[in-house]
Amino acid sequence: MSKETSLHYNEIYYFECDLINQLSHNLSSILYHPIVEYIYNPINYAKEVHINFLEKYCGGPKEILFLGMNPGPWGMLQTGVPFGEVSIVRDWLKVSGIIEKPVKQHPSRPVSGFKCPRSEVSGKRFWEFAKRISLNNPLNFFRNALIYNYFPFGLLTKTGKNITPGDFKQSQQKSIHLACDEALVKILHHTQIKFIIAIGRFSERRALSVLKKFSISNIKVIFIPHPSPRNIGSRQNWVENTIATFTEYNLTHLFA
């Protein structure tokens, strides 16, 4: 697999916007599926914050890609940052910008941006891990790492329930994979990624599938449980267990 020496943050944004356009035009059966009542596109309405985050932390060569599934209602849907728990984005990452609102919002899932009173547990756990492994320095954490969501939209039912890409039928998932796999491999082609940290089983399956589909043999996929409180495997000691995984694979030095 040929690789460039560096990835400019604008390229990541371009890849994401291109993916969103592809999904919007080609996946009307998914985005306008009967169970989908609300479509949140944080890369659009939180564009300023998202670009500020990419510019500050995501340019240049990287060895590690943290791969998430899709934005959550109290994290990235609020701030435009993956796993973007509000206080972490504002106070630790020190990322800022204007956050607008989606055209249509669920009344129980409003976008309040940095004024959101809710805290995303998944994001809180993820960034606590980031703090611990990087000696509380976000520049250390991102020196060799990049974080990216496989699917860019937040989708909600009429009742406000979160819909993930894995909730659709297999035939519909194939359409999602076709576009999202290509977007992911573009990022891999423009970086020096050696390890994909798959956050959850969905991300693990997609990462392994992409590497096989595009005949990429020099990247290793490492699974970590999703930090969601709904995930039984992550309810206790998620941060400690994740650090132990990084120690096992001798990766902690990349964050110091």
- CA dihedral of 96, 98, 103, 106, whole degrees rounded to 10: 50
Structure confidence at residue 7 (pLDDT): 62
* Domain range 9-255, its CATH number among 3.40.50.2000, 3.30.420.10, 3.40.470.10, 1.10.287.3510: 3.40.470.10
pTM, two decimal places: 0.92
Domain residue ranges in the chain: 9-255
Task: Give SS3 for 12.
Answer: helix
- Both tokens of 66, joined, read 């943290």
pLDDT of residue 4: 46
Residue 61 Cα distances to 29, 37, 193, 196, angstroms:
37, 39, 8, 14
Torsion 191-194-200-205 (CA) sign: positive
At a CB cut-off of 8 Å and minimum separation 6, what does 63 contact?
Answer: 144, 145, 192, 193, 194, 195, 254
Question: 256 with 132: CB under 8 angstroms?
Answer: no
What is the pLDDT, as a whole number, of residue 40? 94
- The pLDDT score that the predictor gives to residue 3 is 45
Cα–Cα distance for residue pair 73/159, rounded to 1 Å: 13
What are the structure tokens assigned to 204, written together? 């693990």
- Tens of pLDDT, residue by residue, the chain (256 residues): 444 445 676 777 777 877 777 776 666 566 667 888 999 999 989 999 999 999 899 888 899 999 999 999 999 999 999 999 999 999 999 999 999 999 899 999 999 999 999 999 999 999 999 999 999 999 999 999 999 999 988 999 999 999 998 888 888 888 889 889 988 998 898 888 999 999 999 999 999 999 999 999 999 999 999 998 877 766 689 999 999 999 999 999 999 8
